[in-house]
């Protein structure tokens, strides 16, 4: 979905959009983040309102009569974003969304997950998970969940991860390292991840280079469902356990992931649950490899 904020074009995956509605009166929230206008209560549901223009530019312009709320749903919560206008919905292949290079934003400062060409406009696809995580850190991955597990043994099983958000990459990596995983390889999207796996799949030691794949769903170049399908369709890689770890897990997405062969599907930000699932799947995978070896 393409929308406009302060005369600039931005985009959001429609899978994250619950509804579009005219703005309503917002009750201010004292001592909140500068970009948080407050909250309102449509149909008995409290929803926080974020002024997207304020967040992106640091300037809060006068509210317009035609402003709209984009009501989003991800990470098991609903958040409203104030925008100037909705410009339409465009069907764009993930292959057509390019990752911005480091001159446009680097490290945790980058708020764009991709740049898309929509008609005659370049549209910045925003990292809404990062925006919400920065405004409300308690809603995202909590390293404390790992600390509460206590001392854990070192796990040298090679872990491959496809995740486009730089902020979440760092959070996931930190969490897994705290959980004892010492061999974690991170990729910015499904295409980069697949290029790596495709390059090692004929290696006799392929199982020494990857024991599990963790993938997000919404990524530029190649999404997590396409990555899952490629892995599970490949005779050399199809036994690899795959966990879809995404903010977009719902009944429809879960059904599609199951159809494609995903071994588990978890909703962000359940990092503690992810670690437990990884322990189980890696142990099962290693046992299967031992049995296959004995049968040779």
What's the first-to-final CA gap in the chain, in angstroms?
Answer: 53
User: Is pLDDT of 213 > 70?
Assistant: yes
pLDDT tens, position by position, 51-71: 999 999 888 777 878 899 999
Residue 183: pLDDT over 80: yes
pLDDT at 249 over 90: no
Is the pLDDT at 295 greater than 70? The verdict is no
> What's the average model confidence in pLDDT over 249-254?
89
- Average of per-residue pLDDT values in the chain: 88
**Rounded average pLDDT over 117-133:** 85
Alpha helices in the chain (DSSP H): 52-57, 128-135, 144-147, 166-178, 190-200, 224-233, 251-260, 271-295
pLDDT of res. 255:
95
The Cα 193–Cα 210 span in angstroms is 11
- Dump pLDDT digits (tens) for 18-51: 999 999 999 998 889 999 999 999 888 899 999 9
Q: Kindly report the pTM of this predicted structure.
A: 0.79
Question: Quick check: 187 and 161 in contact, CB under 8 A?
Answer: yes
Residue 94 pLDDT grade (very low, low, confident, very high; cuts 50, 70, 90): low
Residue 168: strand, helix, or coil: helix
Which of 13 and 294 is assigned the larger pLDDT? 13
What are the structural domains, with CATH classification, of the chain?
2-135 (2.40.50.180), 141-295 (3.40.50.2300)
Using the structure block, give the residue that is written with the tokens 């990857």: 210
Sorting pLDDT into bands at 50, 70 and 90, what band is 97? confident
pLDDT band at 137 (very low <50, low <70, confident <90, very high): confident
Confidence of residue 101 (pLDDT cuts 50, 70, 90): low
pLDDT confidence band for 109 (50 / 70 / 90): low
Residue 289: the pLDDT is 75
113 vs 271: which has the higher pLDDT: 271
pLDDT at 108 over 80: no
What are the C-alpha distances in Å from 165 to residues 5, 10, 31, 112?
A: 22, 17, 28, 9
Distance CA 178, CA 238 (A): 29
Average pLDDT over every residue of 142-160 = 89
**Looking at 92-106, 170-184, 248-262, which range is the least confident one?**
92-106
Q: Which residue has the tokens 């599609």?
A: 256
């Amino acid at each position: 979905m393409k929308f406009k904020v302060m005369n600039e074009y931005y985009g959001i995956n429609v899978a994250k959009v619950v509804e579009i509605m005219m703005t309503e009166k917002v009750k201010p929230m004292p001592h909140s983040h500068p970009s948080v206008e407050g909250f309102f209560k449509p149909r008995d549901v409290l929803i926080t309102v974020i002024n997207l223009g304020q967040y992106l530019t640091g300037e809060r312009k006068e509210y317009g009569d035609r402003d709209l709320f984009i009501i989003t749903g991800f990470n098991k919560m609903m958040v409203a974003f104030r925008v100037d206008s909705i410009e339409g919905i465009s069907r764009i292949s993930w292959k057509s969304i390019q990752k911005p290079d480091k001159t446009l934003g680097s490290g945790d400062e980058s708020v764009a997950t991709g740049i898309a060409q929509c008609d005659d406009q370049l549209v910045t696809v925003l990292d809404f998970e990062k925006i919400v995580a920065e405004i409300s850190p308690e809603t995202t991955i909590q390293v404390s969940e790992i600390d509460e597990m206590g001392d854990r043994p070192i796990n040298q099983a090679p872990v491959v991860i496809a995740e486009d958000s730089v902020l979440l990459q760092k959070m996931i990596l930190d969490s897994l390292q705290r959980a004892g995983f010492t061999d974690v390889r991170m990729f910015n999207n499904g295409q980069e991840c697949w290029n790596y796996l495709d390059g090692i799949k004929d290696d006799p030691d392929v199982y020494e280079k990857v024991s599990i794949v963790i993938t997000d769903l919404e990524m530029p170049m190649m999404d997590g469902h396409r990555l899952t399908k490629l892995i599970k369709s490949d005779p050399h890689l199809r036994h690899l356990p795959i966990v879809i770890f995404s903010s977009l897990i719902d009944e429809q997405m879960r059904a599609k992931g199951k159809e494609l062969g995903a071994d588990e599907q978890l909703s962000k930000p359940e990092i503690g649950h992810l670690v437990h699932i990884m322990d189980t799947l890696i142990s099962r995978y290693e046992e299967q490899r031992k049995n296959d070896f004995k049968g040779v």
